[in-house]
Amino acid sequence: MTRNDFNERPQATARARSLRQTENDAEDKLWNELRDRRFNGNKFVRQLPIGPYFADFACRELRLVIEIDGSQHAENRRDGIRDVFMTDNGWSVVRFWNVDVLRALPSVLETILAICDGRLTERVEVADLRFFPAARD
């Protein structure tokens, strides 16, 4: 099965639709900034199926995935496996904590803009930000 085969399965569409209906407050707040090309003209979508995973938010054109994580993601080994899958398949991944989206949205948006503009290109892993650029050939 190829990556695109998964994305075309009816189950993937149904699961993505279900995930969009159960957003948390942080995801809803960020989506209000990203939707309808409001964010610097970039088109983002929610719950995009990529292989066996679903990206919280993704910009296909930039091949950028944005994940909003709650405390259950702290030290989560599965997230690391997922991030490697995404980056190995040409997607950059940035992860923010729910609390940062809710309390420091302007900083979160500035970081996303820096990635979109190509000002942030190197891997970053600090307490409130994890950015994994796509693997280069």
pLDDT tens track for 68-101: 988 654 566 888 899 999 999 999 999 999 999 9
Q: Is residue 56 part of a domain?
A: yes
Tokens 């949205």 belong to residue: 105
Residue 23 lies in a domain: yes
CATH number at residue 61: 3.40.960.10
SS3 10: helix
The tally of domains found in the chain comes to 1
On whether residue 114 sits in a domain, the answer given is yes
pLDDT at 9 (0 to 100)? 61
DSSP state of 91: -
In a domain, 92, yes or no: yes
pTM for the full predicted model? 0.81
Query: CB atoms < 10 A from the CB of 131, how many?
Result: 21
The region that residue 75 occupies, defined by phi over 0 for left and psi between -120 and 50 for alpha, beta otherwise, is left
In this structure, is residue 137 part of a structural domain? no
Q: Is residue 51 part of a domain?
A: yes
- Residue ranges making up the domain that contains 74: 3-132
CA distance 53 to 18: 14
